Chains A and B, each alone.
Chain A
Amino acid sequence: MSETGPQNQPDDAFMDLLVKRVTEGLSSAEQRELEVLDSGSASRHLRELERAAAAVVLAGIGRAEAPPAALSARLESQGLDFLSRAGKKVAAPRTFGWQGAAGWLAAAACLILAVFGWLRAPEPQPVANQPVPPTPAAPTVVPSAPPTVAEQRAALLARSESVKLDMSATKDPAAAGVSGDVVWDPVTQQGFLRFVGLPQNDPKVHQYQLWIFDASRDQRYPVDGGVFDIPGNSSEVLIPIHARLPVRTAKAFAVTLEKSGGVVVSGREHILVLAQAG
């Protein structure tokens, strides 16, 4: 078939497909139809229509709002990491070096171990936008540029099996203004919590504890997702999830405030945030 109609003008059906691809994307069947109609000019039309659509967006966006500072810092770190990995020359010093983060985290981990003498399985470590060293269980990474927790989370999020659930704050006063989400992959049993506004805790007194409600288990006994702390110097915190037991069907995630070290069964006096599937 031809992409042109009378007077050698692009056919409306051909252009409709191009416009739809630019504005919302095509189904497989529509993409095949476009390929049938295309006699070589589709890429040029697409380029020009995409440019036109971008110009309309620029005209209509109105007053632009600055991104959150934490997000900007994360973007910069991501950009510098990318250039570094791409083998480009890196002239400017990084504002937050990987080696510095590793040292800080190692010191923090030692301190926690020394003070509390955990005998439990390793607890998830809070991370505020900085790179962390790979854990022994982590897949092999390039030593000079390990993935940041944010990158690990993004990679997990990109997996087709993963789900992302928004956290809702409860009426507990400590949860006021808290937001965040859970990313969970049932295949790899990996996940990440992301919090904004969750108050700093004093680990000597209280710790946050994650609970995972598995639809295949007794709902009175959710799976312990580990305890964690919120540092006081960051607006956003990412926390890897380490479920103590396999979770077949994650139905809900809840975070409670418990005594230091966590509990085996929560009294549920302080349920702060909830995320529910479906």
Chain B
Amino acid sequence: MNSSVLQRIASGDTAAVRECIEQYGALVWSLARRLSRTPADAEDATQDIYLDIWRSAGRFDESQGSDKVFIAMIARRRLIDRLRKASAEPPMDAEEVLESVAWADPGNGPEISIEAEQAMRALAELRPEQRQVLELGLLQGLSQSEIAVRLGMPLGTVKSFMRRGLIKVREFMNVDAHGISAEV
């Protein structure tokens, strides 16, 4: 029997549509708000993301991770696409200031996913400036060049921090999943 809400959507279960919105709507909306310039953009982005979720539900593989991570991956891809498109447009007035980032407390409640806990453990091993690079790139949507300017770092250092940071997170996730360390 299908237990994943995404698998149920893929099999045509209409009740799963509402469940998917109830369970992950806040996650998608919060990401969209964070990585969109205005609330109106965030609404458009959220609709784009969910359209992609409906289309991609059939590709979800439980063995590769949770529903939540799958949806976060789709959301990120869509938002990055939109950021790239928006960067070619002229700047708009009255941009909303991005909310400051607050790293989740892994012991904060049942909604923290296993993958988020793994990421938290990996991030705890990084230097503060490495964490900052990941934060600016992944949670605020800045490009590596923009991060370099913002932090006054050489671009090569930003690339290196981003690469090592993500590889560290990947390593923690692969260790937990397979009991072995991933190649770095």
Contacts and interface: CB of A to CB of B under 8 A. Distances in A.
Interface in A63-107: 63-68, 71-72, 74-76, 78-80, 82-83, 86, 88-92
A92 B17 CA distance: 10
A166 B173 contact: no
A95 to B, nearest CB: 9
Nearest to B139: A60
A135 B69 CA distance: 41
Interface string A40-67: 0000000111111111111111111111
A71 B46 contact: yes
Interface residues of A, number: 60
A179 interface: yes
B143 A24 contact: yes
A246 interface: no
A15 B64 contact: no
B180 to A, nearest CB: 13
Contacts of A168: 93-94
Interface residues of B, number: 85
Given A23-B137, A50-B76, A91 B14 contact: yes
B47 A78 contact: yes
A212 to B, nearest CB: 19
Contact of B120 (A59, A75, A166): A59
Contacts, number: 216
Contacts of A37: none
**Most chain A C-beta atoms within 10 Å of own C-beta, residue among B80, B119, B139:** B119
Contact of B30 (A10, A64, A90): A64
B25 A59 contact: no
A167 to B, nearest CB: 8
Given A51-B64, A79-B21, 5 more contacts: A23-B162, A53-B166, A61-B34, A62-B101, A181-B38
25 contacts: A16-B163, A20-B144, A22-B166, A24-B143, A48-B173, A51-B69, A51-B73, A53-B73, A58-B68, A59-B103, A59-B117, A59-B119, A59-B123, A62-B102, A62-B104, A67-B25, A71-B43, A71-B47, A74-B47, A88-B11, A89-B12, A91-B14, A92-B15, A164-B44, A194-B40
Interface of A: 9-10, 12, 15-16, 19-20, 22-25, 47-68, 71-72, 74-76, 78-80, 82-83, 86, 88-92, 150, 154, 157, 164, 166, 168, 179-181, 194, 278
Top 10 closest A-B pairs, CB basis?
A88-B12, A79-B17, A64-B26, A67-B29, A54-B72, A55-B119, A58-B116, A55-B115, A92-B14, A62-B102
